Amino acid sequence: MAAIRRAAAVWLRIRALMQRAATGLEAFLESERRQLPLWMPVALGIGIVGYFMLPAPAQWLGFGAGALAVALLGAMMPGWTGRAALVGGLLAVLGMGVAWVRAESVAAPRLAREIHAVWIDATVIEREDRAGRGQWRLYLDPHNPALPPLIRISLRKPPLPAIAAGARIRARVSLRPPPGPSVPGGYDFARRLWFEGVGATGFTLGDPVLIAPAPPPSGPQEWLEKIRVHLTRMLQTQMGGAEGGLSAAFVTGDVGAVPEQVRQDMTDAGLAHIIAISGLNISIVVIITMFLVRRSLALIPWIALRWPIKLIAAGTAALMAIAYTLVAGAQVPAVRAAAAALIVLIGLSAGRAAISLRAIAVGAFLILLLRPEALLGPSFQLTFAAVTSLVAAFQSQPGKWLTREHDGDLWITRTARHAVVLVASGCVAEAALAPIALYHFNREGLYGMIANLLAIPWSDLVIMPLLMLTLAMDAVGWAVPAAWLLRQSMSALIWFSHFVAHWPGAVMRMSMMPFAAYAGFVIGGLWLCLWAGRARLLGLGPIVVAVVISAAARPPDLIVSGDGRHMGVLRADGAMAMLRPHAGDFIRGMWGDFVGTEQTLPLDEVGEANCGPDACVLLLTRGGRVWRVFATRSKRIIARPDMEAQCRAADVVVSERRLPPWCAPAWARFDARALERTGAVAVWLGDARVAAARTGEGAHPWATQIAPRRVHYRSRGTKAAARYAGPPVR
């Protein structure tokens, strides 16, 4: 009986605590009821993330069932708690369904395996020039039912000018299925190409041959593409060099002619957003259009007194934003920015606040509903993080005090307040964008706040008006004077970005941020921005935890490419040693970003390695023991006695070949057979841990269709692992 009484007392205390928590939650939601609609795109996004992160249909259905159970529970609960649970659960189910339907609706045939040196006849769908990087791409519709209806090929030099959208060509190409992530947790190219409809990628062997030139434009899309190409070439010709490439990027979004060094300088200076057709560019076009139209109509009294000139100006600005977006190629960032601008213009026309968190939430909700895959892209995250954080900061009490005009203030006080607002804006934006940039790009410019204080006004007040003037003057053949001024303004921007990017400590690099840390930053940031009361400060907790996790994260000791050809070894000094001395720039750059280093060197130059033309043996001390790694780096056959001896002595074997069963290392073997199922792998020897790139692909439609199979690892005694059996097989 005593035990029953104690259990009953415990239950009563637990029940009282639960009732108190429920009462407190209801009171909190009641006080924040005006903020609850802001969480609707977040709930939709949770469902979208559930689809992309969970690997199998059974788990997608389980997630949906769980969210639906939350909604049903909310329907039975009273008050704001019940409403929040009901709406949030239903939106999570909707997000899961929208992402699933979208992924299946864009399904297109994909290449199953690599094809080498095949002749194809094809129609050019799109031409992409990246002269600044020395790259050219063609999107083709091959006239071959055995190939996917859309493929992307790269060229080593620029094709003929006549090879444009609509032209027919013949080319000898090598093709492969869309590649997955090159590092575990890295950017999934196969997923992006799936939503673009691209079924294969490859390169040409020789120059493509023109069979028939592109026909004259016959529809709106063709005319828009012709206008876009004309504007791009006009600006590049009038201006020349990096200035011409930047000018074209501002107008049409074509960054192909921007030199790689200029792009890197602008990224390191925190100015990369300026050359992307996004909110800044479209906002400037809308503001200038509204100002000119409204002021021009106001000069005519008869019109000003009888017509709604504010509504006319807003409508004209909306049409200009749409036209600008179409000319710029209607890329996702431009479409998103145009949608946000239209929402703002509608709000202005209705007499509402121009920019508010609700308008931002509406824009995010519509984009996620139509293009759920955009949620995973850095462009979407950077845009909404910057805008949301700035609006939330200036809707807070300190922000309102800073931006409110005070009667009797002297001009010097107002000037000082505006300066503080600019500095605060830069700090808030940098704090919001830094975790996203570090997670996606593994680098962040530390002086972006200072650079933007000067570069954004320069772009707004000088470059964009000169661009509009140059385009207007080109229509009547008088573009030369305006183009000269535009070139000087672009040169100043290029010089300034180079100057800031080379300040001491201008760039912070870090290895791949763990997803748990990134989730902490996102949760904490949303909590800080979307609530209005003091409880918003609780969002600092997840951010602190995320900082600790990021600081404790350690880059891997080994990275192996998905085909086994390349292996990277992280040294104690932070440099990465590459198995093959002539590894390409792509793999060096991608792996360097993954581990947070720019220093690479051949494995032959590492003292712990003994390399020959066919193989390398490497001794690494990790986790209090010595690990022996054996890696092949040629396809020449190695005599079985020598190969078997090296396999038996090694802890880890890496090879691009399919190794026979008798090659049995002590711990792990990464050969062609294993890697075709795991993809690229990262290895932490001290923790005896392996991360595989294909772990998260699961049953998604863009996943490599290979039956999953667990890779087993064995453990071995320290004494045996410390043996060194001499030089590698040559």
Tens-place pLDDT, residues 538-589: 999 999 999 999 988 888 999 998 888 899 998 888 888 888 877 777 788 8
Q: Which residue has the tokens 């429920």?
A: 22
Q: Which of 211, 217, 226 minimizes the C-alpha distance to 122?
A: 211
Q: In the chain, how many domains are there?
A: 5
Spatial distance between the Cα atoms of 527 and 538, rounded to a whole number of angstroms: 8
Burial of 690 (0-12, 13-18, 19+ CB in 10 A): buried
pLDDT, averaged across the chain: 82
Higher pLDDT, 232 or 84: 84
The answer to whether residue 272 is domain-embedded is: no
**What's the pLDDT tens digit per position in 437-458?**
888 888 887 787 788 778 878 8
pLDDT band at 179 (very low <50, low <70, confident <90, very high): confident
Q: Are residues 125 and 210 in the same domain?
A: yes
| Same-domain pairing of 642 and 656 | yes
The pLDDT of residue 378 is: 85
The lowest-confidence range among 24-38, 184-198, 294-308 is 294-308
62 domain-assigned: yes
Domain boundary among 162, 190, 215: 215
Q: Is 668 helix (H, G, I), strand (E, B) or coil?
A: strand
Report the C-alpha gap between 706 and 340 in whole angstroms: 42
Q: What angle do CA 656, 659, 664 make, to 5 degrees?
A: 120
In 3D space, the residue among 635, 636, 640 whose CA is nearest the CA of residue 656 turns out to be 635
In this predicted structure, the answer to whether residue 77 has a pLDDT above a threshold of 80 is yes
Among 111-115, 281-285, 346-350, 677-681, which is the least confidently predicted range?
346-350
The pLDDT tens digits of the residues spanning 462-508 come to 888 888 888 778 777 777 788 888 889 989 999 999 898 888 878 88
Q: For residues 604 and 706, state if they share a domain.
A: yes
Within-domain flag for 146: yes
Residues 684 and 657 in one domain: yes
Q: What mean pLDDT comes out for the span 81-107?
A: 94
172 Cβ contact list (under 8 Å, min separation 6): 117, 118, 119, 120, 204, 205, 206
Tokens representing 429? 């934006």
DSSP assignment of 82-136 equals HHHHHHHHHHHHHHHHHHHHHHHHT------S-EEEEEEEEEEEEEEEEGGGTEE
Mean pLDDT, range 661-686, rounded to an integer: 90
Does the structure show a pLDDT above 80 at 132? no
For residues 703 and 694, is the Cβ–Cβ distance under 8 A?
Answer: yes
Task: Output the pLDDT for position 718.
Answer: 34
Q: Is 486 within the bounds of a domain?
A: no
Do the strands 200-204 and 151-155 form a parallel or antiparallel pair, or are they unpaired?
A: parallel
Residues 574 and 712 in one domain: yes
> What is the rounded radius of gyration, in angstroms, for the C-alpha atoms of the chain?
29
Average pLDDT over residues 399-406: 70
Do 532 and 603 sit in the same domain of this protein? no
CA angle (564 as vertex; 578, 625 as ends), nearest 5? 65
Per-residue confidence (pLDDT) for residue 716, from 0 to 100: 39
Give mean pLDDT, residues 310-318: 83
Statement to judge: residues 72 and 101 lie in one domain: yes
Looking at the fold, whether 591 and 529 belong to one and the same domain comes out as: no
pLDDT score, position 720? 32
Tokens (6 digits) for 452: 């933007």
pLDDT at position 714: 42
Last residue of a domain, one of 149, 184, 215: 215
Evaluate whether residue 572 is within a structural domain.
yes
Percent of the chain at pLDDT exceeding 90: 23
Instruction: Output the domain CATH number for residue 158.
Output: 2.40.50
**Strand partners of residue 558:** 569, 683
54 and 144 share one domain: no
Long-range contacts of 19-22 (CB under 8 A, 24+ apart): 22/81
pLDDT, tens digit (0-9, with 9 covering 90-100), for 411-440: 677 777 777 777 777 778 778 888 998 888
Helix 279-298 with 332-349: angle, nearest 10 deg: 40
Instruction: Report the C-alpha gap between 33 and 5 in whole angstroms.
Output: 41
Domain boundary (189, 215, 241) is at 215
User: Do residues 207 and 132 share a domain?
Assistant: yes
| 164 inside domain | yes
The reply to whether 525 falls in a domain is yes
- Domain boundaries, position 44: 32-105
Sequence-distant (≥ 6) Cβ neighbours of residue 411 within 8 angstroms: none
What pLDDT, on the 0 to 100 scale, is given for residue 156?
82
pLDDT 10s digits, 240-291: 778 888 888 777 777 777 887 888 888 888 887 777 655 566 777 777 788 8
**CB count in 10 Å sphere of residue 540:** 12
Query: Which pLDDT does position 693 carry in this prediction?
Result: 85
Contact 427, 247 (CB under 8 A): no
Is a pLDDT exceeding 90 seen at residue 98? yes
**Residue 21 and residue 43 in one domain:** no
Residue at 467 is within a domain: no
- pLDDT at residue 653, rounded to an integer: 93
Helix (H, G, I), strand (E, B) or coil at 172: strand
The pLDDT of residue 93 is above 90: yes
59 in the same domain as 25: no
